[in-house]
Amino acid sequence: MDSHSSPSSKKVRSPGGSSGGSNNRGSGGQTVKFARRTSSGRYVSLSRDDIDVPDEISGDYMNYTVHIPPTPDNQPMDGSVAVKAEEQYVANSLFTGGFNSVTRAHLMDKVIESEVSHPQMAGAKGSACAMPACDGKVMKDERGVDVTPCACRFKICRDCYMDAQNGTGLCPGCKEPYKMGDDYDEVPDYSSGALPLPAPDDSKGNMSVMKRNQNGEFDHNRWLFETKGTYGYGNAFIPQDGGDERNEGIQGGVIETMDKEWKPLSRKTPVPAAILSPYRLLTAIRFVVLGFFLTWRLQHKNEDAIWLWFMSVTCELWFAFSWILDQIPKLCPVNRSTDLQALWDKFDMPSPTNPTGRSDLPGVDMFVSTADPEKEPPLVTANTILSILAVDYPVDKIACYISDDGGALLTFEAMAEACSFADLWVPFCRKHDIEPRNPESYFSVKGDPTKNKSRSDFVKDRRKIKREYDEFKVRINGLPDSIRRRSDAFNAREEMKMLKHMRESGADPMEPIKVQKATWMADGTHWPGTWAVPSRDHAKGDHAGILQVMLKPPSSDVLMGCADDKIIDFTDVDIRLPMFVYMSREKRQGYDHNKKAGAMNALVRCSAILSNGPFMLNLDCDHYIYNCKAVREGMCFMMDRGGEGICYIQFPQRFEGIDPSDRYANHNTVFFDGNMRALDGVQGPVYVGTGTMFRRFALYGFDPPNPDKDHKVGSEMQNLGPSDFDPDLDVNLLPKRFGNSTLLAESIPVAEFQARPLADHPAIKYGRRPGALRQPREPLDAATVAEAVSVISCWYEDKTEWGDRVGWIYGSVTEDVVTGYRMHNRGWHSVYCITKRDAFRGSAPINLTDRLHQVLRWATGSVEIFFSRNNAFLATRKLKFLQRMAYLNVGIYPFTSIFLVVYCFLPALSLLSGHFIVQTLNVAFLIYLLIISICLILLAILEVRWSGVGLEEWWRNEQFWLISGTSAHLAAVVQGLLKVIAGIEISFTLTSKSAGDENEDVYSELYLVKWTSLMIPPIVIGMMNILSIAVAFSRTVYSAIPEWSKFIGGAFFSFWVLAHLYPFAKGLMGRRGKTPTIVFVWSGLIAITLSLLWISINPPKGGTPATLNGGFIFP
């Protein structure tokens, strides 16, 4: 592989060319054949040789090719029409394929029941082909205008045009040879500031076709870069200083004016010393006092209750160790800010060489994952997709992908409906600067919608778009019933056909008719994914890979709307939509698909083939973009000086729909605003699974660039190969690491090059020249999409390093933490980006049981990390010390639950036994306890100051720490130990569920009581402490010599435990007022009865019946 290849998004292919290369043809292995389905419904094989798949696949690795030779049905056409025809074919085709199967392109004239109008969308309406007996659609341009390849304007579809070209070469309308009309003459375009240069000759192949952009015009910028040419001012040729005209002296290609003052795109601001210095000092004081306190506790045993002393000291030693692991990484918190104006000036501002202001920002591929439309409502996912499509970023640099791991037709058609509604929603957001750009959230915002809106037509436009959105929601909600009714009708039709056939063939009419209950698409064909009635090849874990380009890549030039195009006037508004792809990876029985991590890796490979954005942003289906400039905020760090060493940008998670009191600490602000901000000052925050912008090259398992390493001169302007970053990686062994896709291997150095910041500062060692990313993206062709189908097949990862070193890491429930740890362990840094307006928002479970199960999953993943090779004890030296401690805490914190449960029982045991953890309340013990408590309070206050967390939020976090520590964390430790030691896997699931009220309470789920085994330990702890207080109080009151000091000491710690369990108790009681008063009366009577029973069985020492019958004396 040439490490100095052109930094284009992928290898250039002519529409009829091969994309797999002929070198793999001779190697034995898997062969993927490609077939097209024409508009008439017939499948045409496009393989030169009908190669049968062998029964036994030989060789170490399975090879495949996606080959489209120039057969009579696939000949290269004239550039402009050929590109438009190929693009339209790809956008209107549903690609399927997989293991031991032919990759098919299913041409769909109808994707959803409703009408589609946007020209970029699959199934867009168009004129009918004028050829007899043809039901195809006429080719369209970017505005949806019919493309007529002949000057006579005869309307013809793509397939008929190809047949005419390959046959007589005459237009069926005028019977003359095809010639371009006036609208398609090659007119020089000087809008980009490029001077007219002659196109290269065809001696090296069909260069004029390969170098054309989406508009069919010759792309001079791309030709310049690939031929090492240059532009000057007028006729002047301006080399770089010290350069040679005859060699690669001009590596810049396009000359940019460098007279502007260099500005940083981001700034790192330390926490004020007035807050941070006392914080560090108090941490040191508490550390020293803890040492003295534990030494005193070890030296002063309680001889009366040595067992109680031993249990308490053991727990206190562990708590001190756990506090050190949690506190030490917090000593270096930082704040960061971005300069969006400087980013625009550097990458988007028009200049003499870029008069149209074409963006030089790198591309971003956005991933959304979903698995089950029943658990993850399609309307929620559709709103997330709409917020992505409307993001404030260059439209041609954005590509959105959704992974449907369930392969459901409901999700597919919901996404198609979302694309159809985006035709109105996205331009509306751009026209009126709407925030947030999730329509459900926007129309639910309380307040004046006209605030800061100055356009006179805003109210009218908002009223129209609100009505359209309501209709959109009704269509989404009606999809399940629509799909069911459609499938029932088609299945009934198939049964009638079968019955008619049986009658004609003379079969027994009493024999039952066996017709598969299939799920049918809107165009009247079988859905290749999961059916409502599962069958072979159509079940959740057994279906083909599916790929549909629902929105084809937009043109690189702005496309303004018109007053009469839509129901809203979009004049002077860009109406383009970003590229959007639906993907459902292949699943087969017997394969481990690795859940979400496997789906994310399939998205990485698929996007590398189709768009190859050097950065990737992943979101859960219920997390939407709340700040439309969030991507630009993250890009300020990636494109700034030192950005080449950043592996990912982590944004904080913010949630909606949380109860005002945040009973179960769902906002988790202590972690997101405290711990993560502190880690940002070390080596970077941990990866938390969503709201993260990745550098694609870092996710491929490579080490960060080393500025001290000597590279050949001018390496900052060139493409470095994978071996330049990983000396142990032989180019010939790329298939072992990444698989056998040639396009995927070629995309790796391209992604690395495009992700570099601009080389406009001497301190930037790995940079790229300005203007390198302004060339248009190559249009998609069928061969490219077919290869993308191949890389999402179930067998592709076999004998590769996907999931082990490359991509998301397998083998853990919390694959996100492990993936981030692997990158930090290779020396990468991450950045925490807190924006003034929340970047993303999502939903979180507010029900107690759901919250506990969420925490159980996290804690189980941490236990798995502790017992795996991802334990930070085994990290390399590239992981900084404080970062290592933070990752150690990630794997160790669940084990604190063992000691926490014991310590929560100690107050009850102390009260019941009449002994305390110390023999006497010594003055030294009280002083140490007082200093430790005061330091803890002051540390909390200072942490609230530098992190911005509210004191009440801090207290809620402390409460839920004890609740989860005595329930979910303990269950995770038990589950992990049984799995490691005995290989037994235990699942803690819901056993029963009580329904909530049928009113429209927003927080109705908060009051649902769902029983789960996780609730047993906290309930026992709470009951034991309540009863022990009652028993100890009664015993102390009726004793001859009351020992109030021991009672007060034990009761104080019992109240400490009960105060932390208060939210848990409220969750068990459900809605306020629902628990009858008699329950509390009965509870009190039972407690008093048990306490009196204990006194009768075990009377106090020295007590007599006469004493017990007498009065009592308060101290």
The catalytic site residues sit at: 405, 816
Supply 1039's token pair: 């004793």
Give dist(CA 833, CA 377) in Å, integer.
Answer: 29
For residue 1052, with 0-12 CB atoms within 10 Å meaning exposed, 13-18 middle and 19 or more buried, which class applies? exposed
- C-alpha 1019: how far from chain center: 37
φ and ψ of 861, to 5 deg:
-65, -35
77, 160 Cβ separation under 8 angstroms: no
CA distance 164 to 155: 13
For 270, the token pair is 């330390």
Helix ranges restricted to H, 328-449: 340-347, 378-389, 409-432, 439-444
Radius of gyration of the chain (CA): 34
Instruction: Give the other-Cβ count within 10 Å of 532's Cβ.
Output: 17
CA distance 845 to 664: 9
What is the Cα–Cα distance from 767 to 644, expressed in whole angstroms?
A: 8
Is the omega angle on the peptide bond into residue 845 within 30 degrees of 0, that is, cis?
no
Taking the CA atoms of residue 1036, residue 1038, residue 1041 and residue 1044 in that order, the dihedral angle to the nearest 10 degrees is: 20
Contact criterion met (CB below 8 Å) for 108 and 94: yes
Contacts with 365 (C-beta within 8 Å, 6 or more apart), sequence order: 399, 400, 401, 607, 611, 612, 613, 615, 616, 617, 696
Residue of 855, 958, 944 whose CA lies nearest to 677 = 944
How many residues are recorded in the chain? 1115
Name the burial class of residue 1014, with classes exposed (0-12), middle (13-18) and buried (19+) by CB atoms within 10 angstroms of its CB. buried
Burial of 1044 (0-12, 13-18, 19+ CB in 10 A): middle
CA angle (177 as vertex; 171, 180 as ends), nearest 5: 85
Cα–Cα distance list, 740 to 20, 475, 781 (Å): 10, 42, 20
Cα distance between residue 580 and residue 122, in whole Å: 10
Q: Can you say how many angstroms the Cα of residue 318 is from the centroid of all Cα atoms in its chain?
A: 36
Helix (H, G, I), strand (E, B) or coil at 260: coil
Cα 162 to Cα 159: distance, rounded to the nearest angstrom: 5
Give the bridge partners for 351, in sequence order: 354
What distance lies between CA 234 and its chain's CA centroid? 48
- Annotate 508-557 with DSSP letters as a single string: -TTSPP------B-TTSSB-SSB-SS-BTTEETTEE-EEEEEEEPPPPSS
Q: Are strands 829-832 and 646-650 parallel, antiparallel or unpaired?
A: parallel
Q: Which among 581, 529, 576 has a CA at the least distance from the CA of 556?
A: 576
Contacts of 876 (CB under 8 A, 6+ apart): 825, 826
Pairing of strands 538-539, 34-37: unpaired
β-sheet with 43-45: strand ranges across: 43-45, 34-37, 103-107, 93-97, 545-551, 579-584, 398-404, 364-370, 615-620, 692-695, 646-650, 829-832
CB distance 866 to 814 below 8 Å: no
Strand 692-695 to 646-650 pairing? antiparallel
